[in-house]
Structure 1
Amino acid sequence: MDDELYQEFITESEESITQLNNSLLDLESNPENTEAIDDIFRQAHTLKGNFGAMGFDNAAKVAHSVEDLLDAVRNGEIEVTHERMDLVFDGMDEILDILHEIEAEGESQRDPSDLVEEIRAAASPDAEAGADADGGGRPTRRMRRPERTQTPTVRRSTSPPTCSTSTTRKSRTRTSSSTRGSNSTRAI
């Protein structure tokens, strides 16, 4: 694969994940934020297309399931819930893990099938009726929130690309992509 194209793919994917995570934090604080829903949908669509075009179907499937869930929210079929937010964050974590594996190994062997099934089930209007009837639906899963969602720095060189993304997901702060390269964050 062309090194420049590969670097562009890694960089664009990281930027989309950063934007998507920022919009997720906005949506979490205001579930009625249609602008955040639309942005998350667009970013998931971009990730799905980019991973699919590059042949990384595992990440494309996760992004597609997130896109479908957000489409159901946009269409008023389902509501934004804490459980659905957990799943979308889990999906973004999985995509980021796949991206890091691709960056390190040139491919990914991860199988996100179980997570994709969970996200797709949560996107179904029938899932709401089932969750209401049994008190919550799926088992609680630990949500990993981004501590810092600044656009990661990708070093360009002739050697295999590396990414200096360091994301611990314990506090809720973010950095806009316009502050790339700086360490300024703001608490939400």
Structure 2
Amino acid sequence: MIEYAVDKIIDCAGMSCPMPVVKTKKAIQQINPGQVLGVIATDAGSVADVKSWASRMGHHFLGTEEREGKYHHYIRRAHADGAEPDTRYALTISTEGLMERLNGPQHDESVVLDVREPDEFESGHIKGAISVPLGQLEYRLPELKPLLDKELFVICRSGSRSESACHILTKHGFTKAVNVSDGMKDWLGPTE
């Protein structure tokens, strides 16, 4: 069992992506550098989301513990000069734009990478999408290497996890990663 001296706790139980990260982002500003924020969530996707966000912002992600169906995340706030600004990923496309792309003449060159959790993927995904949950992305990069030069449309439920995934992919040489900014919640095309 992880034991940290937690300075502030926020409860995100019952919330789904992107709300745990949105609340975490706001709460971390309410504690001092060096203090620890505890985040309680029930969304399995929060395990990867909170870790990715904290790391990207320069905060120290201490870990996650699962207890009684809830995920307890711990983040130590970075010193004010140690945190990176929250930068939005530059290459984006809407679900409408993605549908046009998938139905257009270049559809054979389009690859959809779905970074939602397995149960979300199984409940409905874009035909032909590759499932790699955000929490597994860095470990599974070697299997994605054949797609290095392809345009990779990255999707999640709302655009938040996919944005984190695009940052990771770009850092590893996937310069054509494109965030589907509005996510599956706004997808009107066919699913399987």
Does TM-score exceed 0.5, indicating one fold? no
TM-score with structure 2 length normalisation? 0.29
Bigger proportion of residues as strand: 2
Larger Rg: 1 or 2? 2
Q: TM-score of the superposition, structure 1-length normalised?
A: 0.30
